[in-house]
Structures are given as structure tokens and as C-alpha cells.
Structure 1
Amino acid sequence: MKIFYAIQATGNGHISRAMQLYPYLQKFGEVDFFMSGSNASLAIDLPVKFKSQGCSLFYSKCGGLDYWKIAKNIRPLQMLKEAKALPLKDYDVIINDFDSITSLACKLQKVHSVQLGHQASFVSKHTPRPDKKSIMGETILKHYASAPKNIGLHFEKYDSFIVPPIIKEEIQQANPKDLGHISVYLPSFDVSCLEKAFRSLPNQEFHWFLGDIKTKQKLGNITYYPVNQADFNESLINCHGIITGGGFETPAEALFLRKKILSIPIQNHYEQECNAAALKKMGVPVVYEVGDDFDTIIQNWLSTDTPMPLIQANDINTTLQYLFDTYKD
């Protein structure tokens, strides 16, 4: 069996998930990957056969999206050309993790596909949303990478086709400890936006993962890390808590490890606002704007005993067997 797997590389989560799935997918057949987007900073250990600039995300300085820069870098004619050129009819199964080019290619070439990933869960009206829905956000989530079939991943089973998060083997097999440090992963923030707050808490150690640094360095109470899977796993497994965005994979892993979480969703990023709504329902504290009082927010978070809910890890073999069994139904 030949399998085509499309990855949306607007962040590291989709790639991390694909790397976890790859050995399981190989049991079913030969896998070729298509990577669309240019935001990922994670080293990629996958047979990527096709690449595209696709639609990438760009951030403002302190926690928001730069929509003007995003719009300037979209090349619709190029994306249409790439959609027509993808040799999808050479494959038996098309798996799409929220890539618009593959979705368009399937429609143009009249090829069947399944959307597997977190965004697929938003096909359901039961998946949590913020109090104020966004028409544009809902449209993007439901139609950007639509497919005839969907297998959604989320924190809880909000609908029949939604299954638990895919948790890395290293996380599932870990023996978590609390070594006192706080892990930080906030790719939409520049260093200058947060550094003062962390420095204002000299007795608290921070492990800060940044996409634009090359080597690990410790300055005072902050250790700066490049985005590296092994280092991040170790930091997360042994942290007291994590400050992260409103993404899906990192909060899911932290919840699995029963780690304390402070979530800061990217401003005007509807999917992250939806995730934040789900996290709030689970008792996870959420901060929507970072200001001069961020050090106080961190102190209050650290001093408040907030029990974290227990979530399950995905049974990957069962999920993939279901995918292949129902693919052509």
C-alpha cells in the first residue's frame, strides 16, 4: 500500500505528531510525506518527498499574528499549480493533517482523503469554542483542509469521531519528576516581551525554548534552549510547570504528565482561543494578554494549587486500523 501524508508545517506540533505516527504507518505500507508551510523549527526525521511554502504563519512582537505579513506571503496561483501537480492518484490512501493544498488537490483530482489531526475535531459542534465565536475562524477550521472523512484528536471525546491525543513514546514511558523549574514554550513572543518578568522572579528557574537561538546558554535564572525535541522532552518531564501557548500537542503532553500549565493563546488565533476554552473547562488557567503584571500572574499561578485533569494517550494502532478499515467506505 502507498500512503501519502500531508503535514501542515505552520508549527512543530503537526511534525511531532507525524514523526510519532510514522513507524506505525510503515506497518501498513510505504509512506511519502508532503510538508506545506515554513514555520517549523523542529529537526525533521521523515521521508519528505514533496514540499511547498504553502500558507505560513507570521507573528507580531508580543503574542499575536501578523495578518498583513501572512497575506503578503500567500501565493494562490502557485498553490493551485502545486495542487494540480501532486501525484495523488499514485497513492492508495491520502492522509491530510490540515493542509489546504492537499485538500484542493483531492477535489481537483477527485481523490478520496481523510483528515487526521486536531483541527478535524472542529467539524463537530460539540468541540469547545470561546464565548464569542468567529465566523472567519469557523470557516477556516471547517473548510481550509476539508475532507470526506475526519478523525479528530482532542483532550476529551467531544464526539464519536474524536479520539485522544497522540502522545510521544518518550512522554508515555517517562518517570516524571518535579525538579522545580518552569518550562517555557511561546514561539509567538519575542524575548524582550517576557524576559523582564522572568528576571523579576530570581528564585524561580526557567527553561525557555526559542526558535532563533542555536546553543543552550544559562544567564541567571533563565536557561535558553534551542527548540530541540530531546531537550524539551527532558525539561517537560522534570518541570514543576509549563508556560505555553494555546496549541494542542504541548498542553496535551503536559496534561498527560499531570504538570501545572499556564496557557497564553496567540491573540486573534481562533483555533488557540478554542483550545483555551477547552483548557479552561478542564481547570487550566488561561491568560489572554501579557502586560507589566506578568510576573505577578506567574507568582499567583505558582502559589495556587490547581489539580490537573488526567487525560488518556491515543492507542495509535487502533486509530490507524480504524482509518484504513473505513477509508473507502
Structure 2
Amino acid sequence: MKIFYAIQATGNGHISRAIQLYPYLKKFGSVDFLLSGNNATLDIELPIKFKSKGCSLHYSKCGGLDYWDIVKNIRPRQMYKEADALPLKAYDVVINDFDSITSLACKLQNVHSVQFGHQASFISKETPRPQKKSLMGEMILKHYASSSKNIGLHFKKYDSFILPPIIKDNIIEATPTNLNHITVYLPSFDKDCLEKAFNKVSDVQFHWFLSDVTVTHTIGNITYYPVHQKSFNKSLISCHGIITGGGFETPAEALYLEKKILSIPIRNHYEQECNAAALKKLGVPVVYEVDDDFNLIIENWLNTETLHPQIKANNIPETLQYLFDTYKD
């Protein structure tokens, strides 16, 4: 069996999921990957056969999306040419993890596909949303990478086609410890937006993962790390808590490890606002704006007892068998 797998590279989560799935996918056949977008910072040890600039995210300085930069970097004509050129008919199965190029290619070439991943869960009206819905956000979630069939991933089984998160093997096999540091992963924030706040909480050690850091080093109570999966996993497994965005994969792993979480969804990022709504229902505190008193928010979070809701890990062999069976139907 020949398998085509499209990865949206607007963040590291999609790539991390694909890396975890790849050894299991190889048992079903040969796999070629398409990487779309250029926001990811992880080392990608996958057979990437196709690449596309796709649609990448651009951030403002302190925790928001820069929509002007996003729009001005979109090349519709180039995207159409790339979609038309993808040789999808050479593959037996097309799996799409939220990539618009592959979705368009399937429509142009009349090829069947399955949207598989977190964004597919938003096809269901039962999946949590913020109090104020965004019409544009809903349109993007439902139509950006539409497929004829969907298999969603989320914290809970909000609908019949939604399954538990893909959790990495080394997270599942780990024995969580508490070395009292706080792990920080907030890719939409520049260093100088948060550094003073962390310094003010001087009795707490922070492990801060930043894309522009090349060598691990410590200044005061902050150790700065490059974004590297092994060191991040080690920090997460042994942390007291984690401050992260409103993504899916990192909060899911933290929930699985029963770690304390403070979520700061990216401003004006509707999917992250939806995830924040789901996290709030699980008892996770969410901060929507970071100001000069952020150090007080951190201290309050650390001093407040919070729930550690347990979530299940995905049974990957069963899920992939379900995916391929679904594809045939």
C-alpha cells in the first residue's frame, strides 16, 4: 500500500504527531510525506517527498497573530499549481492533517482523502467553543482542509468520530517526577515580553524553550533552551507545571502526565480559543492577556490547588486500522 500523508507545519504539534505515527504507518505500507508551511522548528526525521510554502502563521511581538503578514505571504496561484501537480492518484490512501494544498489537490483530481488530526474534531458542533464564536474561524476550521471523511483527536470524546490524543511513546513510558521547575513553551511570544515577569518570580526556576536560542544557558532563575524534542520531553516529565499556549499536543501530554498547566492561547487564534474553552471545562486556568502583573498571575497559579484531570492516550494500531477501514468505506 502506498500512503500519502500531508503535514501542516504551522507548528510543531502536527510534525510531532506524524513522527510518532510513522513507525506504525510503515506496517501498513510505504509512506511519503508532504510538509506544508514553515513555522516548525523541530528536526524532522521523516521521508519528506514533497514540500510547499502553503499558508504559514506569522506572530506579532507578544502573543498574537499578525494577519497582515499572513495574508501578504499567501500565493494563491502558486498553491493552485502545487495542488494540481501533486501525484495523488499514485497513492492508495491520502491522509491529510489540516493542509489546504492537499485538500485542494483532492478536489482538482477527484481523489478521496481522510482528514485526520485535531482540527478534524471541529467538524462536530459538540466540540467546545468559546462563548463568542468567530464566523471566520468556523469557516477556516471546517473548510480549510476539508475531506469527505474525518477522524478527529481531542482531550475528550465529544463525538463518535473523535478519538484520544496521540501521545508520544516516551511520554507514555515515562515515570513523572517533580523537580520543581516550570517548563515554558510559548512560540508566539518574544523573549522580552515575558522575561521580566519570570525574573520577578525569583524563587522559581524556569525552563524556557525558544526558537531563537541555539545553546542552552542559564541567566538568573531562567534556563534558556533550543526547541528540541528530547530536552523538552525531559523538562516536561520532570516539571512542577507548564506555561504554554492554547495548542493541542503539548497540553494533551501535560494532562496525560497530570502536570499543572497555565494556558495562554494565541490572541485572535480561533482554534486556540476553542482549545482554551475545552481546557477551562477540564479545570485548567486560562489567561487571555499578559500585562505587567503577569508575575502575580504566575504566583497565584502556583499557590492555587488545581485539578489534574486524567486523559487517555490514543491506541495507535487500533486508530490506524479504523482509519484505513474508514477510507475503504
| TM-score, structure 2 normalization | 1.00
1 CA distance for matches of 2:12 and 2:327?
A: 27
Q: Using the TM superposition, give the Cα deviation of residue 201 of structure 1 relative to its aligned residue in structure 2, in angstroms.
A: 1.0
Partner of 1:142: 142
Partner of 1:57: 57
For 2:205, give the aligned amino acid: E
2 CA distance for matches of 1:325 and 1:97?
A: 18
1 CA distance for matches of 2:155 and 2:208?
A: 25
Partner of 2:177: 177
Partner of 1:43: 43
Partner of 2:298: 298
Kindly report which structure 2 residues correspond to 1:136-285, keeping only aligned pairs within 5 A, or say none.
136-285=136-285
For 2:193, give the aligned amino acid: C
Partner of 1:313: 313
CA shift digits 1:148-179 (9 cap, x unpaired): 00000000000000000000001000010000
1 CA distance for matches of 2:188 and 2:165?
A: 23
Q: Using the TM superposition, give the Cα deviation of residue 202 of structure 1 relative to its aligned residue in structure 2, in angstroms.
A: 1.0
2 CA distance for matches of 1:124 and 1:205?
A: 40
2 CA distance for matches of 1:212 and 1:21?
A: 28
Partner of 2:24: 24
For 2:31, give the aligned amino acid: V
Q: Please, which runs of 5 or more residues in structure 1 have no aligned partner?
A: none
SS of 1:49's partner is strand
2 CA distance for matches of 1:318 and 1:161?
A: 13
CA shift digits 1:211-247 (9 cap, x unpaired): 1111100111000000000000000000000000000
CA shift digits 1:69-108 (9 cap, x unpaired): 0001000000000000000000000000000000000000
CA shift digits 1:253-301 (9 cap, x unpaired): 0000000000000000000000000000000000000000100000000
Q: Please, which runs of 5 or more residues in structure 2 have no aligned partner?
A: none
State how many pairs are aligned: 329
Partner of 1:130: 130
1 CA distance for matches of 2:311 and 2:132?
A: 27
2 CA distance for matches of 1:101 and 1:193?
A: 34
1 CA distance for matches of 2:210 and 2:9?
A: 17
1 CA distance for matches of 2:307 and 2:266?
A: 24
Q: Using the TM superposition, give the Cα deviation of residue 43 of structure 1 relative to its aligned residue in structure 2, in angstroms.
A: 0.4
2 CA distance for matches of 1:205 and 1:228?
A: 19
2 CA distance for matches of 1:215 and 1:166?
A: 29
Partner of 2:288: 288
2 CA distance for matches of 1:192 and 1:114?
A: 41
Q: Using the TM superposition, give the Cα deviation of residue 328 of structure 1 relative to its aligned residue in structure 2, in angstroms.
A: 2.2
1 CA distance for matches of 2:308 and 2:141?
A: 28
Partner of 1:323: 323
2 CA distance for matches of 1:154 and 1:128?
A: 10
2 CA distance for matches of 1:275 and 1:85?
A: 34
| TM-score, structure 1 normalization | 1.00
Partner of 1:4: 4
SS of 2:3's partner is strand
Partner of 2:89: 89
SS of 2:214's partner is coil
SS of 2:151's partner is strand
For 1:226, give the aligned amino acid: P
2 CA distance for matches of 1:58 and 1:217?
A: 27
For 2:76, give the aligned amino acid: P
1 CA distance for matches of 2:257 and 2:193?
A: 28
For 1:310, give the aligned amino acid: Q
Task: Report the identity percentage.
Answer: 76
For 1:155, give the aligned amino acid: F
2 CA distance for matches of 1:213 and 1:240?
A: 23
SS of 1:56's partner is coil
For 1:300, give the aligned amino acid: N
Q: Using the TM superposition, give the Cα deviation of residue 146 of structure 1 relative to its aligned residue in structure 2, in angstroms.
A: 0.3
Runs of 4+ in 1 over 6 A off after TM superposition: none
SS of 1:327's partner is helix
2 CA distance for matches of 1:176 and 1:114?
A: 35
